[in-house]
Amino acid sequence: MSFLMQHLPILLIAIPLLMAPATILTKAYPGFQKALDIVASLVLLGLSGLLLSTVWDGGITVYEVGEFGKYGIVLVADLLSASMVVLSCLIGCMGLIYSYDYIESKSLNLTYHSLYNLMLAGINGIFLTGDIFNLFVFFEIMLLSSGALIVANETSTVTKISDKMEATMKYIVLNMLGSNVMLIAVASLYASIGSLNMADIALKVRILSEAGTMPWHIYAIGLLFIIVFGGKAAVFPLHYWLPDVHPTAPSPISAMLSGVIIKIGAYGILRILFVIFAPLKGVFGPIILVMALITVGLGATAAIGQTDVKRLLAYSSVSQIGYVFLGFGMGAIAYEAGEIAGAVLIIAASFVYLVNHALAKSMLFLTSGGIIHKAETRDMRKMGGMVDSSPVMAATFLVGAMSIGGVPPMGGFISKFMLFDAGLKSQFYLPIGIALVFAIFTLFYMFRGWILIFWGARDPQYGEYSHHGLSLLMVGPIVVLAVLVFILGIYAEPILGIANTIALQVMDPNPYIDAVLTRVIR
């Protein structure tokens, strides 16, 4: 047990990395391959929960890979990173189980398992690394594996392979451009500061700021990181890849893209804005606030006119990530204005919003896979009346729509109420007013989607729905996520407590810096 606790952070990366070749070597035994992968996924979920518990009880955990001090690779698990790892492992596990009956068997057997594990390893590495260059490395692992997963074949033939290839090309090319920008930013930061350790960089940037000798190009480097993470999060004007990728990706991959991968951008902004470039919050906060408001409005307006169920959910994700970034911008501005308590409330609300959206939207994408499986089309105009043949999907989609729309008693209501209340308390009247208007848009397009799919009756010209029912492997993960969304609405105290502590840690990076440098500096 002591070995397990000692090496907990590295195991969350090493296990999926080892599972990638292991699932290739066992492809001659598909049943064993599936069992091995699902056991590994459940183990990851358990270890992530154990890490969160350890960090909650014992504080920030620092793990050195090698004996090179601050010049080597360091893994750091604070409450923010540990919580994000739990979220990625949970949604990843649900997506993997769902995939077993959704992905075409040959594709599943040959490449899907290994690529899925590489994606999880990259995601967990992003959340746990304390080294900014290794953040870039894990980004590349996640990018290439998730890009390949977009073209995985499904049992349904609704999506053409040519559409998949086009979407994958956009995803890879645009994200590779982002990766080049990130590499330039990392190299420039190293040339300026002389370190890749995020805690060490944060300390040196603070010293430069306090001495009044901050070089002008540090501001430019910070803007480059905002571009990089804004692109990963699909924030305006870097959102354009998401609506094309979501409709063509298999639904479990769409769930990972919207539930976890775009949240990586939000995580990166928190680290950059409040830890590494903490003295520059007053400069970058208004930029993020403006980007967020445009993102909220653009995504919500575009979602209203969609007829493709997955494109509707994709534009909804663009709008909803805008609300998360809205909190980041308001929090940074409030902190610079000396309203520390208000800033903490806003950041805590943003984290609660992030978690609720991740769970609800990943569940909605999994549900959309079942809808497409049943209707054999993504066009909502060709649906209708599915509530009779698929009551479970109707109920889970309604739960997700209520949560995204901010209707009680779902988790989304708690997060929207917290964000709006915290913003108003800090006198962000105009941003909250704009956000509230587009929250009404959200209610409209989500419930319009539910009515088009499940209410009324299907036009006879489109034929009958498929009589092939959904398996427990597909329904189970959807129901689990729907239950979690409901629980977070009626019993939000645990997530609120975690979010408040995370906000306090984010606003005061000193414990993070001290934990890392005290442990590794030599």
pLDDT tens for 134-187 read 889 998 899 888 888 888 777 766 677 777 787 788 888 888 888 889 899 999
Least confident segment among 8-12, 155-159, 377-381: 155-159
In this prediction, residue 233 has a pLDDT band, given cuts at 50, 70 and 90, of confident
Q: Which of 3-17, 74-88, 94-108 has the highest mean pLDDT?
A: 74-88
Residue 87's closest CA among 291, 313, 266? Answer: 266
Q: Kindly state the percentage of the chain with pLDDT values over 70.
A: 95
DSSP string for 203-247: HHHHHHHHHT---HHHHHHHHHHHHHHHHHHT-TTS-TTHHHHHH
Least trusted range by pLDDT, from 215-224, 234-243, 466-475, 478-487? 466-475
**Greater model confidence, 267 or 278:** 267
Is 28 or 124 the better-scoring residue by pLDDT?
A: 124
Mean pLDDT of the chain: 86
Residue range 334-366, pLDDT digits in tens: 888 878 888 899 999 999 999 999 999 999 999
Least confident range from 169-173, 398-402, 444-448: namely 169-173
Using only C-alpha atoms, what is the Rg of the chain?
Answer: 22
* Pairing outcome for strands 73-77 and 61-65: antiparallel
Q: Is 18 left (phi over 0), alpha (psi -120 to 50) or beta?
A: alpha
Q: What is the mean pLDDT of residues 384-411?
A: 87
Region 297-316: mean pLDDT is 89
Q: Is 379 left (phi over 0), alpha (psi -120 to 50) or beta?
A: beta
The confidence score (pLDDT) of residue 468 equals 65
Greatest mean pLDDT among 160-164, 510-514, 516-520 lies in 510-514
- Find tokens 């967990």 and name the residue: 124
| DSSP-assigned letter for residue 319 | H
The counts of H helices and E strands in the chain are 23, 2
Closest CA to 458 of 388, 369, 373: 388
| pLDDT for residue 9 is more than 90 | no
Q: What are the start-end ranges of the H helices in 59-131? A: 79-102, 105-107, 113-128
Residues 37-51: what's their mean pLDDT? 91
> Please, which residues bridge with residue 62 across strands?
76
Query: How large is the angle between the packed helices 472-490 and 79-102, nearest 10 degrees?
Result: 150
Residues 465-507: pLDDT tens digits?
666 667 888 888 999 999 999 999 898 888 899 999 999 988 8
Q: How far apart are CA 242 and CA 263, in angstroms?
A: 13
Of 105-109, 292-296, 509-513, which one has max mean pLDDT?
292-296
What one-letter code names the amino acid at 121?
A
For 395, the token pair is 């109920």
Helix (H, G, I), strand (E, B) or coil at 259: helix
Domain boundaries, the chain: 2-520
pLDDT bin (cut points 50, 70, 90) of residue 521 is: very low
> Whose CA is closest to 404, among 364, 376, 458?
364
- Report the SS3 class of residue 338: coil
Contacts of 165 (CB under 8 A, 6+ apart): 151
DSSP string across 389-404: H-HHHHHHHHHHHHHH
**pLDDT value of residue 222:** 87
Asked if the model's pLDDT at residue 519 lies above 70, the reply is: no
What CA–CA distance (Å, rounded) separates 324 from 419? Answer: 9
Which residues make beta-bridge pairs with 63?
75
pLDDT at residue 68, rounded to an integer: 58
pLDDT, one tens digit per residue, over 258-272 is 888 889 989 999 888
Number of Cβ within a 10 Å radius of residue 461: 6
| The pair of three-digit structure tokens given for residue 27, joined into one six-digit string | 């492809």
Region of poorest pLDDT, from 129-133, 210-214, 281-285, 395-399 = 210-214
What distance in Å separates the CA atoms of residue 504 and residue 497, rounded to the nearest whole number? 11
Cα 76 to Cα 62: distance, rounded to the nearest angstrom = 5
Q: Report pLDDT for 520.
A: 47
Which stretch of 118-122, 271-275, 439-443, 462-466 has the lowest confidence by average pLDDT?
462-466
